[in-house]
Structure 1
Amino acid sequence: MIRVLVVDDQDLVRSGICRLLADAEQVEVVGDAASGEEAVQKARDLEPDVVLMDINMPGIGGLEATQKILQRQPGIQIIALTVYDGDPYTSRLLKIGASGYLTKGAHFDEMLRAIVKVNSGQKYISPEIAQKLALRPFQDDAGSPFETLSERELQISIMIAKGQRVPLIGEALFLSPKTVNSYRYRIFEKLGIEKSDVQLTHLALRHGLIDANEVN
């Protein structure tokens, strides 16, 4: 049996995945988590073989949680589960050491196939994402400007683009509002935009970093 930990901040998504996996003969769901912080703790306590990790969550987020888990437990295989199918998520996750990458639109059979494959020590990337990665060297587009950001800057960019206010971002990330604003201005400078949250949101939408439905 492959021991799986399911991580997603949306209760319906998390419980739905757990219910589907419960019917799979090869898999045992050993736990679930609603945040990156909880994922790190439960990975340590439960020692799963595979973690299905939602990337875009409040708090430290899936990227940082993935990194923390792999630093402490390099034997765990992590499959990133996200609504986004393009960079900078794919490249960041692979560099961090994730074993797989699935979008939330993937069929359950594909998710199960990915779990089995990464548990055997192989990598799994959805075919459409793999094709995008393969075509990147032949595209005139230099890629997403968000690739220039650090993981923390990327995380804060997403939160700002969704319309979250600086005090709430600081509270979620355990940072002072002053520190969040320092990151904010650094992000604007790196992305080459004026100090405008609206511009950042438009840029994030254009490069598929967020979905229009997520903007407050």
Structure 2
Amino acid sequence: MQKQIRIILVDDHQVVRDSWKFLLDRDDRFTIIGQCTNGAEAIEQAGILRPDVMLMDINMTPINGFEATKAIIEQSPEIKIIGVSANNHPSYAHKILELGARGFVTKSSPFDELMSAIVQVYNGEEYVCREIRNEPSFRQR
């Protein structure tokens, strides 16, 4: 059996974290090692738990996903972050990738696409969901 991908889930909505956990726990490739409700917790837990991948919501307070991503990448550049947002504007993907994230998916992306994103990012690739990738304004970056 190959090594499980160690994941921290970061979202201010418990139902989102619980849904991700429920679905990811059903796949032997993944293990959830932590959950955070905001960017401040994410920064702290990233340093303690050292995940392989973090699923990072963007719109959170007091520290949003952009700020948390920047801080985590500065302290632990080996951690791979996938930005996740209900906002499907390509500027969100551009910004989080510029801050060092390795991927971006929208919350309306199919779950199998989220799993593919996790595996590809873990394996060193960059991943942007089809919904954003197909936007002309994203392709111009």
Q: TM range, normalised to the smaller chain?
A: over 0.9
Q: Take 2:15 and 2:131, find their aligned partners in 1: how far apart are those partners?
A: 26
Alignment RMSD (CA, Å) = 1.1
1:161 alignment partner in structure 2 = none
**Deviation of residue 19 (structure 1)?**
1.1
Provide TM-score, normalisation by structure 1: 0.61
Q: Is the 8 A contact 2:33 2:49 kept in 1?
A: yes
Q: Take 2:11 and 2:74, find their aligned partners in 1: how far apart are those partners?
A: 21
Q: Is the 8 A contact 2:88 2:106 kept in 1?
A: yes
Matched, 1:57 2:36: no
The higher radius of gyration belongs to 1
SS of alignment partner, residue 60 of structure 1: coil
Matched, 1:10 2:13: yes
2:51 alignment partner in structure 1 = 48
Q: Take 2:13 and 2:131, find their aligned partners in 1: how far apart are those partners?
A: 25
Structure 1 runs not aligned, ≥5 long: 138-216
What CA deviation, in whole Å up to 9, does each residue of 1:157-194 have, x standing for no partner? xxxxxxxxxxxxxxxxxxxxxxxxxxxxxxxxxxxxxx
More deviation, 81-90/32-41: 81-90
Tell me which of 84, 89, 93 is aligned to 2:87.
Answer: 84
Provide TM-score, normalisation by structure 2: 0.93
Q: Take 1:123 and 1:30, find their aligned partners in 2: how far apart are those partners?
A: 22
Among all aligned residue pairs of Structure 1 and Structure 2, give the percentage whose two residues are the same amino acid.
38
What CA deviation, in whole Å up to 9, does each residue of 1:95-132 have, x standing for no partner? 11110000001111111110000000000001121122
1:72 alignment partner in structure 2 = 75
List, as ranges, runs of 4+ consecutive aligned residues in structure 1 with deviation greater than 2 Å.
none
SS of alignment partner, residue 62 of structure 2: coil
Structure 2 runs not aligned, ≥5 long: none
**Deviation of residue 88 (structure 1)?**
2.5
**Deviation of residue 93 (structure 1)?**
0.9
2:31 alignment partner in structure 1 = 28
